[in-house]
Amino acid sequence: MKLRNTCAGRLGIVLTVGLVAGALVVPSSALASKFGAKLTTAGPVGSTPPHKCVPVAGGCTRVGVSYSATGAAGGNIQAPEKGKIKRIRLLAGAPGNFRFFLTKLKNLDLTTGSSLAKAKRKGPRLEYEGNGFTSKPVERFQVGVPVKRGEFLAIKARKTSTLDCRPASTHQIVYQPPLGLGGGFVSSSVSDTCELLIQAVIK
């Protein structure tokens, strides 16, 4: 009886250690990756009143191409891998809405603030409260949009306050009329120094 208890105890210890070790090993495939703006230390500085497209009619597409004010989430300006965006996170200084897009760029030149762009996928319209100046500033939205490696985050709206306007260099490429799905690459209209405070989480 004593021998049986000892063996059972040893087996229990082995199983426990194995379970603990297994719990500590997280497969890399289970880890979420991010791209866009890092939102841990960001704030929607200079975002209110919301910035309008010029002209406002029809809105415009804003593509985030630099995140020097906050740093890029996970060090990624573009999607680091193929997958599905499960969540959009943002900071905004005032209520508003936008439809988010995934875009492909070529001939991007941050010095001249120019690029060619094509809209690849369209996400849902997101209504945000603009909690950027509160104690719980980050807003989260569950989505489920496929993404390919190298694609950029973009939004379509007439105006937005999802911005950090501290930078002085190009952080957005703006397209007006806004980009639509289908067709070829479109030349940019203007650039903007404000940084888009939007982040995508891929799982």
Question: What is the rounded distance in angstroms from the CA atom of residue 168 to the CA atom of residue 193?
Answer: 6
This prediction's pTM: 0.84
Query: At a CB cut-off of 8 Å and minimum separation 6, what does 174 contact?
Result: 53, 60, 61, 62, 63, 188, 189, 190, 191, 192
Q: Tell me the C-alpha distance between 69 and 125, whole Å.
A: 26
**pLDDT of 6 strictly over 60:** no
Q: Give, as one character, the DSSP assignment of residue 179.
A: P
Q: Report the DSSP beta bridge partners of residue 72.
A: 37
Q: Which residues pair with 88 in a beta bridge?
A: 141, 200
pLDDT band per the 50, 70, 90 thresholds, residue 3: very low
Among 11-20, 113-122, 146-155, name the one with the lowest average pLDDT.
11-20
Structure tokens at 149: 């490696």
Q: Are 80 and 201 in contact (CB under 8 A)?
A: no
Mean pLDDT of 35-56: 91
Tell me what pLDDT residue 96 has: 97
CA-based nearest residue to 191, from 130, 128, 105, 78: 105
**With bands split at pLDDT 50, 70 and 90, how would you rate the model's confidence at 30?**
low
Report residue 38: phi and psi, to 5°.
-80, 125
pLDDT digits (tens, 9 = 90+) for 160-200: 999 999 999 999 999 999 999 988 999 999 999 999 999 99
CA 76, chain centre distance (Å)? 9
- Note the pLDDT of residue 91: 97
For residue 55, name the pLDDT band (cuts at 50, 70, 90): confident
Say yes or no to pLDDT of 13 above 80: no
Q: If you average pLDDT over every residue of the chain, what do you get?
A: 88
Token pair in block for residue 137: 């500033």
